[in-house]
Amino acid sequence: MSSWDDELGNWPGFPPLAGDAAADACVVGLGASGLAAIEALAGRGLSVIGVDAGRVAAGAAGRNGGFLIAGAEPPLHEAVARWGPCAVDLYRETLAELDHLSDLLGPDVVRRVGSIRLAGLPGPPASDTEAADREAELADCAAQAIVLRKHGIAVEDYAGPLGRGLYLPDDAATNPAVRATRLARLLARVAELHEHTPVTDVRAGRVTTRHGVVSAPTVVVAVDGRLDVLLPALRGRVRTARLQMLATDPVPARLPCPVYGRWGYDYGQQPADGRLFVGGGRDLFIEDEWTHDATPTAQVQDHIETVAGRLAGGPVRVTGRWAAPVGFTPDARPLCTLVDSGVVAIGGYSGTGNLVGPVAARAAVAQAVEGVAPAPYLSA
């Protein structure tokens, strides 16, 4: 269980599927992207059945850092270099998705506080290597700012108690578990949702679960981590990794917004209750973290605890540790691909699915229902 779940209270949940059923569309996965797909399908007047193997957002959608930051995994200047101008289009689409989410859920769930990209981590460098890396990242922040400003996207230089870097005022923070369950409650008015309904097979017109078969001409598979297990045909196009996090007791206020540093590999946020929610370290143990296992490991957790101390500016007491599987693609472009007649799969958000996932979901619905080809910032 994630410490984010502490704010859910007595979540009533949705019943498992009770036998065979039929609808115009079926969505597999009730995380951020799956819920966006349900919204898009229901908005077209279609009947929708949504299923999840566990609780709503019990996977990465409810166990991530709660960062609502625009763009994909690479910073914009790097994404433009890799993919071309379409990277700017994706950035703008994620900003529009954030505006929509803010309007839908309100400021108590979506806190428009911006985000900070730090060069390195707070505090004096622990070694000459860290000092050199910090300078290199500071230069990269400057390159990122140039491209953001070129395209009229808000960015400010940051120099403060946490260090130096960039402040991006359009971004936001959330409790990811609260964000997803609030959305699910809203969507339950227009769709049939089922938790604890593992899917065993997906093919054209048919989703087989352990509790029955859903017949539907349109199917959206919105599973990020372990997508390569559910749909073996996508192996090689998407790969599952483990992301790890921890939570601490409350500490004095230090983080005004989501903060990420050391090239984005380490990150944390501090809600109003003063706790720190901190993750990272995957790059330091990269081969071990390419796994479907969602069990925290001592080596990564030790690193994250050090990061938490640096973010806090002093010792911390850890109160919870967890991990979640997420999908990565070779070039970090999100996946939106037709896998069978009427069946579109999305995933591979490379650790940044809170806004990218819903953008991919809306594209998947347009492809499945209307035959609209995905934008070039999506890997088809």
Exposed (0-12), middle (13-18) or buried (19+): which is 262, by Cβ within 10 Å? buried
| Predicted local distance difference test score (pLDDT) of residue 172 | 98
Backbone angles phi, psi at 189, to 5 degrees: -75, -20
Report the SS3 class of residue 36. helix
74 touches 148 (CB < 8 A): no
d(CA 229, CA 260): 30
DSSP 234: G
Question: Tokens 């998407």 belong to which residue?
Answer: 238
Angle (CA) 238 244 248, round 5°: 155
| Assigned CATH topology for domain 17-64+176-237+331-370 | FAD/NAD(P)-binding domain (3.50.50)
Q: Which of 97, 93, 77 is nearest to 85 (CA)?
A: 77
Write out the chain's pLDDT in tens, 380 residues.
799 999 998 888 999 999 999 999 999 999 999 999 999 999 999 999 999 999 999 899 999 999 999 999 999 999 999 999 999 999 999 999 999 999 999 999 999 999 999 999 999 999 999 999 999 999 999 999 999 999 999 999 999 999 999 999 999 999 999 999 999 999 999 999 999 999 999 999 999 999 999 999 999 999 999 999 999 999 999 999 999 999 999 999 999 999 999 999 999 999 999 999 999 999 999 999 999 999 999 999 999 999 999 999 999 999 999 999 999 999 999 999 999 999 999 999 999 999 999 999 999 999 999 999 999 999 98
Strand order in the sheet with 266-269: 156-160, 163-168, 115-118, 259-261, 266-269, 277-279, 239-248, 318-328
* Domains in the chain: boundaries: 17-64+176-237+331-370
pTM of the model: 0.96
